[in-house]
Chains A and B, each alone.
Chain A
Amino acid sequence: MTLDATDRRILKATAGGLPLTPHPFEEVGRWLFLPENEVIARMAAMQEDGVIRRVALAPNHYALGLAANGMSVWDLDDSVAKTVGEKVGALPFVSHCYLRPRALPDWPYNLFAMLHGQTRDEVEAKRAEVAALLGDACRSHDILYSTRILKKTGMRLAGEG
């Protein structure tokens, strides 16, 4: 989808968040001198095309008690990576699951699955569940716990307007 200048103004104006009022799209329209129905129609078109995934709230996992957040990484045989990766993604405690290239020799892992829990013991139990599911398809694995969020702003559009 190609965004025009008005679409970009809407995305830039809302990148830091929607205004917190009962009628947020009317308020965005006021900022940009656009009628509310145009703001809504343009945002709906962008959502239809997937440029906007959703307009939603992002909870803070840490603040809500999910203090242990680990990026589990797995070295899977390429021939089975897609089929077994599908099963890992379907586990109820996996929040993101991707295949990515290896960076040999330092980094042999090609499957990335985010695991969350209230404690590291809980996350380790989930990791063991994934390991059991993968069996011989996995040559080695590791987990990288996050110790700090350094930045979390989401995507920003460059340039003016």
Chain B
Amino acid sequence: MRAALPPEALDATDRLLINRLQDGLPLTHAPFAPVAQEAGISEAEVVDRITHMREIGAITRFGPFLDAEAMGGAFCLCAMAVPADRFESVMTSVNAMPEVAHNYERQHKLNMWFVLACEKPDQIAEAAARIEGETGLKVLLFPKRHEFFIGFRVEA
């Protein structure tokens, strides 16, 4: 797990960029112009700062966030109880699958939690079966039944 950055790693302008750009970028010729104007810097400097923040690990992604369901596919949260002495090799098999969008280690008997994102709903069960076949471990499926509206975002 990545260590926290020292507080001085990001200045007030970086924090402003993180806070604004979490909400989304306009789809225009100059998408950084509004935030550059608000921060009082050039668009080139916005780009340089994002590049730097990506290099130091303050940002994990910058780009389109896709919704598998809207394109006719599906997401599914999955969990496995992986024996400690096999954890690294199981992680390597699971992470190698393109359908695995995220994977987290958690403190619990069910210690590996990952999200499958597939373009067709029946591919979820196929992908889970492939993981079970490769690892010999049971994959529990926790598909979303209902999503509650939330207003949270990280304040940098």
A contact residues vs B (CB 8 Å cutoff)? 1-3, 11, 14-18, 20-26, 36, 40, 43-44, 47, 49-67, 71, 82, 85-86, 88-90, 92-101, 103, 106-107, 110, 112, 116, 142, 144-158
Contact = CB atoms under 8 A, between A and B. Distances in A.
B66 A154 contact: yes
- Chain B interface residue count: which class? 35 or more
Given A16-B63, A51-B67, A54-B65, A23 B29 contact: yes
B11 to A, nearest CB: 14
Contacts of B30: 22-23
Contacts, number: 254
B145 A148 contact: no
A100 B106 contact: no
A95 B152 contact: yes
8 cross-chain pairs, A with B, having the tightest CB-CB distances, nearest first: A89-B148, A50-B70, A54-B24, A155-B117, A150-B103, A57-B21, A151-B103, A148-B105
A53 B107 CA distance: 30
A59 B27 contact: no
Contacts of A23: 29-30
A58 B19 CA distance: 10
A142 B21 CA distance: 33
A24 B68 CA distance: 24
Contacts of A25: 27-29, 31
Interface of B: 1-5, 7, 10, 17-18, 21-25, 27-32, 43-44, 46-47, 50-51, 54, 56-68, 70-72, 75, 77, 79, 91, 94-95, 98-110, 112-114, 117, 119, 140-154, 156
A56 B25 contact: yes
B4 A92 contact: no
A26 B31 CA distance: 11
